[in-house]
Amino acid sequence: PDKQPVAALVEAAARRHGVDPAFALAIARRESAFRQTAVSPKGATGVMQLMPATAARYGANPRDLEQNIDAGVRYLRDLAGMFDGDPALVAAGYNAGEGAVIKHGYRIPPYRETRTYVPRVLESRSEYLQCRQP
């Protein structure tokens, strides 16, 4: 599938689960560039780059496009609940795991990858929000 239908699925899942669609799109963009065939060296799969344990936690087949997106967005919703909706901590939790954010005192963990990832997600979110301005 091309990027437009995948983005539409991400937006629909975000609305369904009460997640900011621009934020969910930013995560999908940074995780996989909207590619369902993406597989990371660490074993994360699909558009939302679900780790096997996260996919299992949400009862999703990570290789199924809609299940992958739905589970990833539900994880974003749950992270937002854990971190009082703070987008930087939600992004950090998505990248490094919620345990790492908690372990580091509810701050962005000092991992190079996460410290690069968070501002990129927030920048992408801002770009999506600007596209929606009338």
Q: Does the pLDDT of residue 122 top 90, yes or no?
A: yes
Say if 1 falls within a structural domain: no
Say yes or no to pLDDT of 4 above 70. Answer: no
The answer to whether the CB of 61 falls within 8 A of the CB of 70 is: no
Q: Given a cut of 60, is residue 2 above it in pLDDT?
A: no
pLDDT of residue 1: 44
Domain total in the chain:
1
pLDDT at 131: 85
Mean pLDDT of 18-46: 96
**Catalytic position from the list 11, 31, 98, 123:** 31
- Within a domain: 70: yes
Residue 49 has pLDDT above 90, yes or no: yes
DSSP state of 106: S
Supply the mean pLDDT for the chain: 95
Tell me which residue range forms the domain holding 116: 6-131
pLDDT at 133 over 70: no
34-45 tens-digit pLDDT: 999 999 999 999
Q: Left, alpha or beta for 38 (phi > 0: left; psi -120 to 50: alpha)? A: beta
Judge whether 114 and 98 are in contact, CB under 8 Å: no
**Predicted model pTM:** 0.94
Residue 108 has pLDDT above 90, yes or no: yes
Which CATH number goes with the domain that contains 20? 1.10.530.10
Q: Which residue from 16, 21, 10, 94 is spatially nearest to 47, judged by alpha carbons?
A: 10
Instruction: Tell me, yes or no, if 31 is annotated catalytic.
Output: yes
